[in-house]
Homo-oligomer: A and B are copies of this chain.
């Protein structure tokens, strides 16, 4: 099976998610056409920037991974849909986090979606490698499994930290893990 349509469909879904976040997030400021009217939007804008980065990184990683792939099978289609499902929850948790000014529970939920996305990405990676064979270019490009485990552990710690200590440390953890999870 050719990989072209899986890539095209994933591109479309991620492009829509990344753009819908902005539409959901950046509501019109109420009362006034001056700079002060924009101030209440800052937590929403920050959570938008974080999610844009995080979705952009996943798109980049997805792109790199499929570059090294020769062909796909039915299992890959399903693993890819599973990954897109968790991505599709991002706009909801982004906005809930932004509207509640980074309160503990919304930040923890955001972390849970990040965690599930990371696990789904890992499953997709393994399914792709299984479809190519262990000696494939992809298996070599992806390298050790250890990176996936570290991401998963960090997101889990982040969720706990948000709930029992402070959401700001959790956000710092998320921001630190995401770019290096490629």
* A contacts, CB < 8 Å to B: 1-2, 5-9, 11-20, 22-24, 26, 28-29, 33-35, 38, 49, 52, 56, 59-60, 63-64, 66-67, 74, 77-78, 81, 84-85, 88-89, 91-92, 95-96, 99-100, 103-106, 109
Q: Are B19 and A9 in contact (CB under 8 A)?
A: no
What's the dominant secondary structure at chain A's contact region?
A: helix
Question: In the complex, A45→B81 CA distance in Å?
Answer: 17
CB contacts (< 8 Å) of A100 on chain B: these are: 33
- Tell me the smallest distance from the CB of A117 to a CB of chain B, in Å: 14
Q: Are B11 and A89 in contact (CB under 8 A)?
A: no
Residue of chain B at shortest CB distance from A25 = B92
